[in-house]
Chain A
Amino acid sequence: MPRPQEWEFAHISCSVGAGQDRTAPVGAEEISWMTPCAVEVCGLCKSYRLGARIVQALRGVDLSVQVGEVFGLLGPNGAGKTTLVKIISRLITPDRGTVALFGTRDYATGDLGVVLEGNRNLQWRMTPLENLVYYAVLRGLPISESRQRAKALLSRFGLQDWMGVPVQKLSRGMQQKVAIAASVIHNPKLLILDEPTLGLDVGAVEETKELIREIGGEGTTILLCSHDLEVVSSLCSRVVVINEGAVIAQGSPSELARAWSQSRDTVVVEFDGLSSEDVSALTAAGVTASDNAAGLTLSAPIGDRAAVKRLLEFAAAMSERIRTIRQVEASLRDAVLELMARPARFGNGGRER
């Protein structure tokens, strides 16, 4: 297993795999003998002026998303995820760097499907059917075809009984379904979803996940930006973790969890009828003890061999009181927490320059 340090600041090559020269002029990338990536981001930098301060939102981000992939962007608030997706959607212009979609930098935003964060994607006074037809026409579809597609999509999304109700009267989960339907009505090759499950209840999250899975299953490339690690790990084949405007790790969710949270894998032993006073010597050796109603839980990180040895010796001696013994593997959540906890890559330790 690679050590976390070996993954640190993993750089994704921009030229290999995309058939592109990073310094090539606009248009040159279209002459390619390789299948282009769905999204190719190279050296993206963006800073904002906030009063007298300059905030670095992106610091040379590189990433590539393969065609048909569901790709996740993870990171804390203010990491630069939304700036990145807005640059790809051409809603923000970068200071430096390039974005190519399906092999061209001269792409039309009308070919994208974009669902931005929150309920910021629909005309609230209009019904779902009217919304879908309106946005389909804006994306170049004929009105009659738009109506047909809108009705079919709303039925498929389980909204056939709500087609005629103004969007402002729908639940948040339904509004999000309408927003996703509106973003795919023109069959975009790339769908960008910024926090699609934000503010949704558990049931709505599951329904939204299922929709995303279905859309991805039909071959649409999806760029999914989310805080919800469960959503990302269940939907995405690969993720990048962004912090302070830079890509700090990438890989599949399971690769990231294994590589970054090695130290968080633990051996856990639960005892009946012990108290923490009984094991004071163990805690001094690196074993963690926590009381609960049934007794005591002892755990030791697998990376700490001495602590594990002491814990297992103790368990062997007290075997008649053991309730459960198990190994707990670290999750993507642990990996991201560990990544976020690492010192900042940049000199002043913050986002400000």
Chain B
Amino acid sequence: MKYLRILAMEFYTWWLTSIRYPLDSLSSLAVLYIIYIGLFLGGKVILGGPAVRSAIETSIIGYTMWFLGIAALSTMSRNVAAEAQKGSLEQLFVAAVPVRDILLLRGLGSTLGAFVMAFIICLLLSVTTGSRVPLGVGSLPALMLTLCGMWGFGLCLGGITLLSKQTDQFVNLLQLLLLPAALKTDIGWLQWFPLARGVSVAVAAFRQSPAATNGLWGLGLCAALWLIVGALVFDRCVLRAKSGGTLGHY
């Protein structure tokens, strides 16, 4: 119950921020919409012919998962940096639950928020292009497992941010580097990364391919591995920051 209450508070906080800064929230929606419509129309122009539908579906699934995955990944490090700058980070460390869990719940809360935004975009896309939006219920398990893996990766970044304080540009760079993982999912070594594996499973699930069920097991394992690694790295970084007395520094 304690964790559910914290999750509710974190989602409420995301909601408060969104409605208190409407210009920023609407601008985010506009940017996302422009990117989606660019993917959609760009795919039509470049590819044309019968291949276009499949390619666009893959791109839109890939981009949506990339968007949600990046939100999950960056929320940890950005939250750590922002809390440190505001000075309230140390207050999280005197809470009743470990700060790692608070960050995970905050990640879940803001991912739910990002999911709401993605849903709005998909609706807008359907209305404006007259196409079916390729995000079915079948893709949801893949999406959730991918996000779990990305939170694990995000915890690693959150831990690094605790120590090095400024990681904004590093996270931006990672976002760019991860884009191929979302769009070109057949690269072998990328399968160890939850985003690439997640996109390929989600696309398979959307096409109702039997490979999706098998892929979910692998994706689950990959996500669990990243969550464990993330928690270990984060805890190690917390110990180091506490030892150096730099927890609240920015």
Binding site for B on A (CB under 8 A): 46, 48-49, 57, 83, 86, 89-93, 108-110, 112, 114, 116, 118-126, 130, 133-135, 137-140, 142-143
Contacts and interface: CB of A to CB of B under 8 A. Distances in A.
A91 B242 contact: yes
B28 interface: no
A120 B94 contact: no
Contacts of B91: 114, 116, 121, 135
23 contacts: A83-B245, A90-B94, A91-B242, A93-B242, A108-B96, A109-B95, A110-B96, A110-B97, A116-B90, A116-B248, A120-B90, A121-B87, A121-B91, A124-B86, A125-B16, A125-B17, A126-B13, A134-B9, A134-B13, A135-B95, A137-B9, A138-B6, A139-B95
A89 B93 CA distance: 9
Q: For this complex, into which size category does the number of interface residues on chain B fall?
A: 20 to 34
Contacts of A133: 9
Interface string B180-224: 000000000000000000000000000000000000000000000
Contacts of A83: 245
B247 A92 contact: yes
B16 A126 contact: yes
A143 B93 CA distance: 20
Contacts of B102: 138
B239 interface: yes
3 A-B pairs with least C-beta separation: A120-B87, A110-B96, A140-B96
Given A121-B87, A140-B2, 8 more contacts: A91-B90, A92-B243, A108-B96, A110-B96, A120-B248, A138-B6, A138-B95, A142-B1
Nearest to A49: B244
A2 B5 CA distance: 57
A137 B242 contact: no
A303 B95 CA distance: 53
Contacts of A122: 88
B103 to A, nearest CB: 12
A89 B92 CA distance: 12
Contacts of B88: 120-123
Given A108-B96, A121-B87, A142 B247 contact: no
B29 interface: no
Contact of B95 (A86, A110, A123): A110
A91 B8 contact: no
Nearest to B1: A142
B12 to A, nearest CB: 8
Contacts of B6: 137-138
A124 B86 CA distance: 8
Nearest to A141: B5
Nearest to A86: B245
A116 B89 CA distance: 11
A178 to B, nearest CB: 12
B94 A114 contact: yes
Nearest to A48: B245
Contacts of A142: 1, 5
Query: Which of B17, B96, B97 has the largest count of A CB atoms less than 10 A from its CB?
Result: B96
A127 B71 CA distance: 26
B94 A91 contact: yes
